[in-house]
Amino acid sequence: MVRKYNQFYTEKHIGEQLIDALGDLKCINSCVELGVGLGGLIAPLCERADLSTLLTCDIDEDNCEISRRNWPFGFHYNIDVLLPNFEEIFLKHQAKFDLALCNPPFGWIDHTEYTRKILMDNGILSLSKNKSVRMEVLFVIQNLRLISLGGSFGVILPELIIKSKIFEKFRSVLKEMFQSYLCIENEAYSFRGTEATTYLLVLKDKLKCLYELRDDVEFSEVGSVKINRLPEVDIKRGRLTGKECRATSLRTLHTTDFRRYKEIDSRTKMVKKVTSLKEGVLGPTACNGDVVIARVGTRILGEALYINNDEFVISDCVFRVRFGCPDVAKEFLRFWVDNKNSILNKHSSGTCAKYITISCLQDVIGEFFSVVECRREIRGEAN
């Protein structure tokens, strides 16, 4: 089931861990939470801190009703924080809160005039020049506007934002804005219904306002790498969970399918073409000439396949690596398979369940191309 409004709620023990990580709560009198859900973060805070002011928002009126019942002293707004009327609430509360808590919805959305405006007004439109933008980035920005100088921010973010190269500059903005930056990896499968690896980020003692930052911060939001003169490589991760994949009537590829497909060398069955469907909803597909790699899964991590004469919607546990040329893709697959153990030893992260990230994949592709270059030089083919 695709959840309405990305409602993956925080389990009690994770909420408690985030509040613990904030340390001393004596100076916390006011708190804001955008996308409060069922209150998985506010509840443990209210047990430990003596709040005089609480402001929460949620796009879902049922959630606001729950907050009104549980915390009647607070202000609870049924509002979309990514629409312009949020400013009405905002202007009253800008830079007022000692603490902001947030577990934002994860994912890409198309920019609107308003989302561009909030980035531009704060001097950081260059953070996101593309057509789409991560909701986590927007929620973080809205929170940063509400936190007072000296205030703190506890936020749950996915691996993409915490680890990938493409959000390095975004992280540097956060580091620059706060005195301390603490990042804790959650156990795998911390959120029911999603296998996404998540992190608790605790930022304390806000030093600056957004508009005080230099405005030359830039990052690219597409997972593609350019390696010297060599071909451009496009890396994409699927969007649907394994369960969501199974619920579609389409041909899909999740990590649990890898072994099965490996045994079937050439499949001649007609497959339903999925490219005509909205990739925006289903996420990326893998087709002829692509390499797919299992990015997570105890027994399947790092398994790779070359897609030959077929097409699949890939799950969020699978990376699709697209090279400009099928021969390069096949050579990369051989390189990957030959070096898989050392690649995983060197590049996989995670304490319990291991996983690989886009930036690790980019490093491995860089290594692969250096080897290819070396071989060409040895053979005297280099230009």
Ligand X SMILES: C[S@@+](CC[C@H](N)C(=O)[O-])C[C@H]1O[C@@H](n2cnc3c(N)ncnc32)[C@H](O)[C@@H]1O
- Asked if 310 interacts with ligand X (CB under 6 A), we say no
Q: How far apart are CA 352 and CA 360, in angstroms?
A: 18
Site size toward ligand X, by CB under 6 A: 22
- By CB under 6 A, is residue 74 in contact with ligand X? no
Binding flag, residue 339, ligand X (CB under 6 A)? no
Do 355 and 296 meet the contact criterion of CB atoms below 8 Å apart? yes
User: Measured between alpha carbons, how far is 328 from 27 in angstroms, rounded to an integer?
Assistant: 58
CB of 41 to ligand X, least distance (A): 5
Cβ at position 245, least distance to ligand X in Å: 21
Reduce the DSSP state of residue 243 to 3 states and report it.
helix
Say if residues 357 and 349 touch (Cβ distance below 8 Å). Answer: yes
Rounded distance between C-alpha atoms, residue 172 and residue 194, angstroms? 27
**Does residue 44 belong to the site contacting ligand X (CB under 6 A)?**
no
Closest separation in Å from C-beta 314 to ligand X: 23
Identified binder of ligand X from the candidate list 74, 105, 289, 302, rule CB under 6 A: 105
Pairing of strands 304-306, 291-294: antiparallel
β-pair type (285-287, 311-314): antiparallel
Can you tell me which residue has the tokens 């985030």?
A: 18
| Piece of the chain touching ligand X by CB under 6 A; list 47-55, 74-82, 330-338, 351-359 | 74-82
Q: Encoding tokens for residue 297? A: 């899964």
Does 5 bind ligand X (CB under 6 A)? Our answer is yes
User: Do 48 and 19 meet the contact criterion of CB atoms below 8 Å apart?
Assistant: yes
Establish if 133 lies at the interface with ligand X (CB under 6 A): no
Kindly tell me the burial class for residue 142, based on how many C-beta atoms sit within 10 Å of its own C-beta (0-12, 13-18, 19 or more).
Answer: buried
DSSP letter for each residue of 167-222: GHHHHHHHHHHEEEEEEEEPPTT-STT----EEEEEEEEE---GGGS-S------S
Give yes or no for residue 58 binding ligand X (CB under 6 A): yes
Query: Is 17 a residue that touches ligand X (CB under 6 A)?
Result: no
Q: Smallest gap, in angstroms, from Cβ of residue 138 to ligand X? A: 8
Q: Which two tokens stand for residue 216?
A: 């030359």
CB nearer ligand X, residue 9 or residue 97: 9
Single out the residue of 20, 60, 185, 215 in contact with ligand X (rule: CB under 6 A).
60
The CB-of-143 to ligand X minimum distance in angstroms stands at 12
Indicate the residue among 33 and 257 with the shorter CB distance to ligand X.
Answer: 33
Q: Is 46 in the site for ligand X (CB under 6 A)?
A: no
> Quick check: 63 binds ligand X (CB under 6 A)?
yes
Give me the torsion for CA of 123, 129, 134, 138, rounded to 10°. 20
> Contact between 154 and ligand X (CB under 6 A)?
no
Q: Which two tokens stand for residue 26?
A: 């004596």
- Tell me the longest C-alpha to C-alpha distance in the chain: 76
The residue among 112 and 130 lying less far from ligand X, judged by its C-beta, is 112
135-146 vs 86-93: helix axis angle to the nearest 10? 30
Query: Is residue 157 at the binding interface for ligand X, with CB under 6 A as the rule?
Result: no
| Closest to ligand X by CB, 82 or 365 | 82
Q: Which is nearer to ligand X, 7 or 349 (CB)?
A: 7
Per-residue binder mask for ligand X (CB under 6 A), 224-263, x = binder? ----------------------------------------
Q: Which residues contact 89 (CB under 8 A, 6 or more apart)?
A: 55, 57, 77, 79
Q: Which is nearer to ligand X, 7 or 308 (CB)?
A: 7
- Complex with ligand X: residue 7 or 256, whichever CB lies closer: 7
- Between 197 and 252, name the residue whose CB sits nearer to ligand X: 197
Q: Of 360, 248, 221, 232, which is closest to residue 296 (Cα–Cα)? A: 360
| Among positions 25, 36, 144, 356, the unique one binding ligand X when judged by CB under 6 A | 36
Question: Which one of 32, 57, 173, 361 is in contact with ligand X (CB under 6 A)?
Answer: 57
Question: Are 112 and 166 spatial neighbours (Cβ–Cβ below 8 Å)?
Answer: no
For the bound state, the minimum distance from the C-beta of residue 195 to ligand X, rounded and expressed in Å, comes to: 15
Does 78 interact with ligand X (rule: CB under 6 A)? no
The contact set with ligand X (CB under 6 A) reads 5-10, 35-38, 40-41, 57-60, 63, 80-82, 103, 105
